[in-house]
Structure 1
Amino acid sequence: MSASKTAVPSRSHLTSLMYSLPVRRLKEILSHVVPDASLGAVEQVASTQLPRLYNLNMSDDRQLLLSFAPSLAVRLLRQEGTILSSEAILIYFISASTRSLKIEGSPSSETEIPNSTSLLDVVPKILKHSSNNREMAYPYSIFEPTAGAPLSTLSIYLSIPDRRVVDKQVGSMVRALALLTSPTGTFGTASRVLPDPFNGASSTAPPIAGSSTWSEAFNTLLEGILRDGEDMAVLLPYDTIRSHYQRLSFHLDTVTFPRLVVLDASSETNVMVERTAEEPSLGSSSTGAKFTGLRSWSQGVFGDPLLCEAFEDPSEGFLEGWQEGGEDETGDEVNLEIRSLFYRCYRASVGVVTQYYRPQVDSSRRELEARRKLTNVLAELARVEAAETSLLKRPRSPSGEAESAKRLKC
């Protein structure tokens, strides 16, 4: 885990840290979270994630991770407005559901990832979460940190076999997550579907919202990013995108089970990897690598697992891990291609609009790449003619279904 080690020794940095982080209040909170230890050095973690991250070094040599909400100066998309609470709610749900499966005696293979790693091993333990602004002026979460460093910082050091192992483990995790379904049978983001266990008043209350169909839930996501673009006057083919959705959205309703997917579960900036300390064997450049979890769990959605960005251009290792899970969880194979087109359209739209909300040094390159993808996928959607649409609505023959499944298996 990369961190700024000058946080405590440098008086100037300590002063700025105190302005951005209420250290005195944090010490008081930690005295209740870990009463047998006190807060020592605080180190800001270099991260591309939206939340501000800090390593908290405790007096008993433990290290905790503080995730602090983005400052008000950071412009957020609609779907990012509740990232900390969404993450905390989802982590709580995954941990509780996985423990329940184990207690009930479900086969361990259903929630296991290669190399004897379970979902419980890759989901961080959350020690404290607050969604209000009363305690530290911003929402925050305190975790036991995930080991390792983001794949984006280590990928150049990994051998091809090591990278395949990591990709396979990520694919298996995505499959394991897809085995978890919405407890209410509704579709939508985790924050809309799941109750908030950290709010005593709502812990037993019904979910805030949720959609009865996947097409409705996906439309909420799609409309959210389109409206974000309209708010910033981003030039996009809004009418064309909405027209294709109106014409072909019935394909999304072949997804009848709201399965859990973390949209950026395969992002190199989100995947955490730990390199082993073992020396490479004779004749091999491999040093070993292990997937340890995700930096952020905030983009959880109950719907179609294929919405995960990993399926846009899946590696062989990822597909191997996904397919080892057994029976396919992608729903009706006949409609898979058109569903995938919609997901590519959504991701490309997010890619374009994000550059206007949070410009970076290479935003022009990122925007052009996203626009190229959007243009290509809209062209493909345009080729899905009415006649073909009607054909897909009618039942396929057994041979046709087998041919489609063979072609689209992923």
Structure 2
Amino acid sequence: MPSLKRTNGSEPFHRQSRAVEVDERHRLDDVLSLLFPSTVRVQHSHPIFGHMHSLRLLTLSNGAHLLLKGSPSSRTALLRRERSFLETEAQFLSLLAQSANPCIPRLYHYDPHGRLWGSAYLIRQYMKGKSLSEMEGELTSQQRDGIDRHLGFLVSAIGQNAAPGFGSLQQVAFGAGRPSWREAFCALFEGILRDAEDMFIHLPYSEIRHELSRLAPALEDVSLPRLVVVDFGRPCHVLVNEESGQLSGIVDFSSAVWGDVLMAEIFANASPAVLQGAGMAVSRTREENIRLVLYACYRLVSQITVQYYRNRDETTEFDARRRLTTTIAEMMRLKLA
């Protein structure tokens, strides 16, 4: 009697998985052929999870480490401003290419059509280091001050880049920038409010819109459109060398706009070291204080809204709502000169 061969139900799955892996490796090699000699191949491709965009750490046969950042999944709900994040980051890195700053990654390639990869993607230098959010408790006060000074210097250096109009990098590149920061910021704020309304999020919309309109004249003081990364200084985007405790890199420039340097998140509660590094005075004018409160309100509305577009964190949302209530009350007390 012939023996019965035992079948393994997982074999077809493994074969399919292997085929997908081989296909991906071939596509990666095709992409790399645009950048390196044909002898350079992908040795390892390691997915990095937990991000809105798809991320892959690529180790090449020549020893180089690159990061491939692709479009979010088509199933991912996006805020209005997030729809152009990948393009914004590519444009930002192109603008900063001449600075050759070791803390800003080099852009190798950007393809908005994704001809070889299947969707839009960029390839940039992989930045080594541990995030500031992970390292915070291990740093001495001197190390933290050093990082803050360096961050202040960087945000100021980035702001030395100026443009003929305000607004998104895409708008300005196409000659469609706004003539005033007041107009550009109000449009940006209205976008996040509409994102919140789309999800039926409970917020004091009328109060926010009223105070924004009332205090908006303070934005007129910003007359020169400067390059600013709105999320700049966020601890998860700041990389630190574990051995030296010094700044080793910055990642994620997708929130960049042409606007007011003070909108960078690092100025929300800037330490003296940040201000020293940026070459700014500790004291603020009335208009600067008003602008900082408007930017704080924008960030808090964004923090609340994004919870309904991602995996909701009720603790984060509750904290943001509490701070938003305080910020709106502060806005109501502010008076223009």
TM-score normalised by length of structure 2: 0.89
Structure 2 counterpart of 1:335: 287
SS at match of 2:102: helix
* Structure 1: 5+ residue stretches without partners: 1-10, 99-118, 195-206, 277-287, 393-410
Matches within 5 A, 1:92-111: 92-96=94-98, 98=99
Partner amino acid for 1:346? Y
Shift of 1:144: 1.8
* Structure 2: 5+ residue stretches without partners: 1-12
Q: Distance in 2 between matches of 1:310 and 1:254?
A: 20
1:255/1:68 CA distance change after superposition, 3 Å: same
2:211 pairs with 1:244: yes
Structure 1 counterpart of 2:307: 355
Q: Distance in 2 between matches of 1:45 and 1:14?
A: 22
Aligned counterpart in structure 1 of residue 268 of structure 2, from 299, 309, 312: 312
1:158/1:212 CA distance change after superposition, 3 Å: same
Structure 1 counterpart of 2:171: 192
1:344/1:173 CA distance change after superposition, 3 Å: same
Shift of 1:356: 0.6
2:137 pairs with 1:156: yes
Aligned counterpart in structure 2 of residue 264 of structure 1, from 231, 236, 245: 231
Alignment coverage as a number of residue pairs: 323
1:172/1:18 CA distance change after superposition, 3 Å: farther
Deviations 1:12-55 (A, max 9, x none): 69938947983321211112211241111111235x54222211
SS at match of 1:127: strand
**CA-atom RMSD in angstroms:** 2.4
Aligned counterpart in structure 2 of residue 22 of structure 1, from 21, 24, 31: 24
SS at match of 2:58: strand
Contact 1:261 1:305 in 2 (8 A): yes
Structure 2 counterpart of 1:321: 277
TM-score normalised by length of structure 1: 0.74
Q: Distance in 1 between matches of 2:23 and 2:292?
A: 42
Deviations 1:45-72 (A, max 9, x none): 35x5422221111112222111122111
Q: Distance in 2 between matches of 1:346 and 1:17?
A: 46
Q: Distance in 2 between matches of 1:81 and 1:45?
A: 21
Shift of 1:292: 2.2
Contact 2:104 2:251 in 1 (8 A): no
Structure 1 counterpart of 2:34: 32
1:333/1:12 CA distance change after superposition, 3 Å: farther
Structure 2 counterpart of 1:228: 195
Is the deviation greater in 157-166 or in 218-227?
A: 157-166
Partner amino acid for 2:181? W
2:334 pairs with 1:371: no
Structure 1 counterpart of 2:182: 215
Partner amino acid for 1:160? S
1:84/1:170 CA distance change after superposition, 3 Å: same
1:93/1:13 CA distance change after superposition, 3 Å: farther
Partner amino acid for 2:229? V
Shift of 1:209: 2.1
Shift of 1:222: 0.1
Partner amino acid for 2:158? L
